[in-house]
């Protein structure tokens, strides 16, 4: 279903890096279905794409082709992350064999969509990624492969979010995620831009080795973090009341 941006919520901003004009047009059409107000940037080469990212710090998503001039397959992902390590990337490629998909996911991409996928699949994949998931093409699994755990997750024995490598702001986002808040609600509660919240959620999922919010909640429970996280939130809520009673 096509949804318009709500008042006060920033429109999606996406960079498409692909050297084929018709492919870029098709991706633009799909993105308009995700967000009719989507702000679209495009680049025909990896160098131009990297420049666009460096000039636009508020890009929500980068759609990257692996067949760019001067790049060989997964090298495009390597080179992009080398220059822009915080970029949120979804690969859209004509090559989607198991090894390529595995390598891309290990390097941190948030999704891998074969170019042969129909517009409906592409739209659903992008919506899934923007909701905090990591999209893996079912074609890869049907070919007898198994996609490994995604991202460089923290050690299961890490006894706190801090020990697992989460920043203070990511911990704030995780607390609200555990409370069932949507990305837009987290934006309002923490006064953050939507793209920033999405990046924090993606980092949290990667740290926990999860691909969905539900899995992240289960991972927090398994690690025994919930009491500490929600206890901190409750204590923070009691502090103002305690201070008021002392005056």
Shared-domain flag, residues 123 and 222: no
Note whether 111 and 61 are within 8 A (CB): no
* pLDDT-derived band at 37, boundaries 50, 70, 90: confident
Q: Which CATH number do you get for residue 166?
A: 1.10.10.10
Note whether 203 and 170 are within 8 A (CB): yes
pLDDT (average), residues 190-198: 80
The answer to whether residue 185 is domain-embedded is yes
Looking at 142, 173, 208, the residue that finishes a domain is 142
pLDDT (average), residues 66-81: 90
Choice among 119-128, 157-166, 198-207, 211-220 with the minimum mean pLDDT: 157-166
Shared-domain flag, residues 137 and 107: yes
Q: Helices 226-246 & 168-178, crossing angle to 10 degrees?
A: 100
Q: What is the pLDDT of residue 141?
A: 56
The answer to whether residue 51 is domain-embedded is yes
Shared-domain flag, residues 129 and 196: no
Q: What is the pLDDT of residue 246?
A: 47
Shared-domain flag, residues 167 and 196: yes
Share of the chain above pLDDT 90, in %: 23
pLDDT at 206 over 90: no
Q: Which CATH number do you get for residue 17?
A: 3.40.50.2300
The answer to whether residue 127 is domain-embedded is yes
**pLDDT averaged over every residue in the chain:** 79
Shared-domain flag, residues 137 and 180: no
pLDDT digits (tens, 9 = 90+) for 148-169: 444 444 444 557 788 777 778 8
Note whether 49 and 19 are within 8 A (CB): no
Choice among 72-76, 216-220, 231-235 with the minimum mean pLDDT: 231-235
The answer to whether residue 6 is domain-embedded is no
Task: Please give the residue range of the domain that contains residue 33.
Answer: 13-142
Shared-domain flag, residues 198 and 128: no
If 0-12 CB within 10 Å is exposed, 13-18 middle and 19+ buried, where does residue 158 land? middle
pLDDT at 208 over 50: yes
| Count: domains in the chain | 2
pLDDT (average), residues 219-223: 86
The answer to whether residue 87 is domain-embedded is yes
The answer to whether residue 207 is domain-embedded is yes
The answer to whether residue 4 is domain-embedded is no
Shared-domain flag, residues 130 and 39: yes
* pLDDT-derived band at 85, boundaries 50, 70, 90: confident
Shared-domain flag, residues 104 and 186: no
The answer to whether residue 2 is domain-embedded is no
Shared-domain flag, residues 138 and 17: yes
The better pLDDT of the pair 163, 75 is held by 75
């Amino acid at each position: 279903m096509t949804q318009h941006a709500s008042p006060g919520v920033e429109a999606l901003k996406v960079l498409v890096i692909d050297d084929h004009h018709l492919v870029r047009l098709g991706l633009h059409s799909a993105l308009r279905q995700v967000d009719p107000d989507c702000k679209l940037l495009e680049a025909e080469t990896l160098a131009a794409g990297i420049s666009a990212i460096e000039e636009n710090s508020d890009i929500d998503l980068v759609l990257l082709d692996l067949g760019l001039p001067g790049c060989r397959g997964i090298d495009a992902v390597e080179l992009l992350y080398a220059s822009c390590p915080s970029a949120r990337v979804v690969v859209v490629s004509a090559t989607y064999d198991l090894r390529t998909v595995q390598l891309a996911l290990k390097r941190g991409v948030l999704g891998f969509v074969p170019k042969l996928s129909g517009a409906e699949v592409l739209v659903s994949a992008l919506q899934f990624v923007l909701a905090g998931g990591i999209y893996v093409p079912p074609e890869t699994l049907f070919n007898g492969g198994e996609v490994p755990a995604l991202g460089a997750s923290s050690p299961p024995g890490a006894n706190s979010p801090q020990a697992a490598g989460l920043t203070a702001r990511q911990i704030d986002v995780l607390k609200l995620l555990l409370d069932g808040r949507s990305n837009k609600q987290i934006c309002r509660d923490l006064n953050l831009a939507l793209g920033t919240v999405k990046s924090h959620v993606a980092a949290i999922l990667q740290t926990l080795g999860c691909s969905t919010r539900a899995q992240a909640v289960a991972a927090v429970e398994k690690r025994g973090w919930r009491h500490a996280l929600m206890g901190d939130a409750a204590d923070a809520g009691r502090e103002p009341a305690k201070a008021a009673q002392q005056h």
